[in-house]
């Protein structure tokens, strides 16, 4: 099953960190990303591991986008999310350009316009980041 990233999340340009949606359902997303020189938080050919938080949020966004597509909705014109970091563990140092990241995010609780997300990021089969995010989006 193949999905176009741009059909599921609104991020574009330097802020679109996901290259490929590997798996997606209504509560879970898995994505693949290649760290490039265009990524935010770049310094001396490596990025700060804080970008893993955004990878988790965008990967969760693929699940939300998939849900919306299943209901026949569109992403165009949508307002953004307010995302809070409830808990995070970043175990990697700086992440070099060219590193392939695999991110998994799961929506563990979702009510009205609030959700809690748990996710993790792996590089070379080693877990380098874990986070629990709280997400709020305005009602339409």
CATH label, 5-136, candidates 3.40.50.180, 3.30.43.10, 3.10.129.10, 3.40.50.2300: 3.10.129.10
Reading the block at residue 58, the tokens are 């965008």
pLDDT of residue 30: 95
Tens of pLDDT along 1-57?
Answer: 456 766 666 666 667 789 888 888 879 999 999 999 999 899 999 999 999 999 999
User: Is 60 exceeded by the pLDDT of residue 76?
Assistant: no
Backbone φ and ψ for 15, nearest 5 degrees, come out as -90, -5
Q: b vs e for 52-68, b when ≥16 Cβ sit within 10 Å of the residue's Cβ?
A: bbbbbbbbbbbbbbbbe
């Amino acid at each position: 099953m193949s999905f176009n990233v741009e059909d599921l999340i609104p991020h574009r340009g330097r802020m679109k960190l996901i290259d490929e949606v590997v798996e997606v359902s209504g509560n879970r997303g898995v994505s693949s990303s290649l760290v490039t020189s265009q990524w935010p938080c770049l310094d001396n050919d490596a990025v700060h591991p804080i970008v893993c938080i955004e990878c988790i949020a965008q990967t969760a966004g693929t699940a939300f986008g998939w849900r919306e597509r299943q209901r026949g909705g569109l992403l165009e014109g949508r307002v953004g999310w307010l995302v809070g970091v409830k808990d995070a563990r970043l175990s990697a140092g700086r992440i070099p350009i060219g590193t392939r990241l695999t991110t998994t995010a799961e929506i563990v609780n979702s009510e009205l316009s609030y959700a809690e997300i748990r996710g993790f990021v792996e590089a070379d089969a080693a877990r380098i980041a874990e986070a629990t995010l709280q997400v709020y989006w305005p009602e339409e």
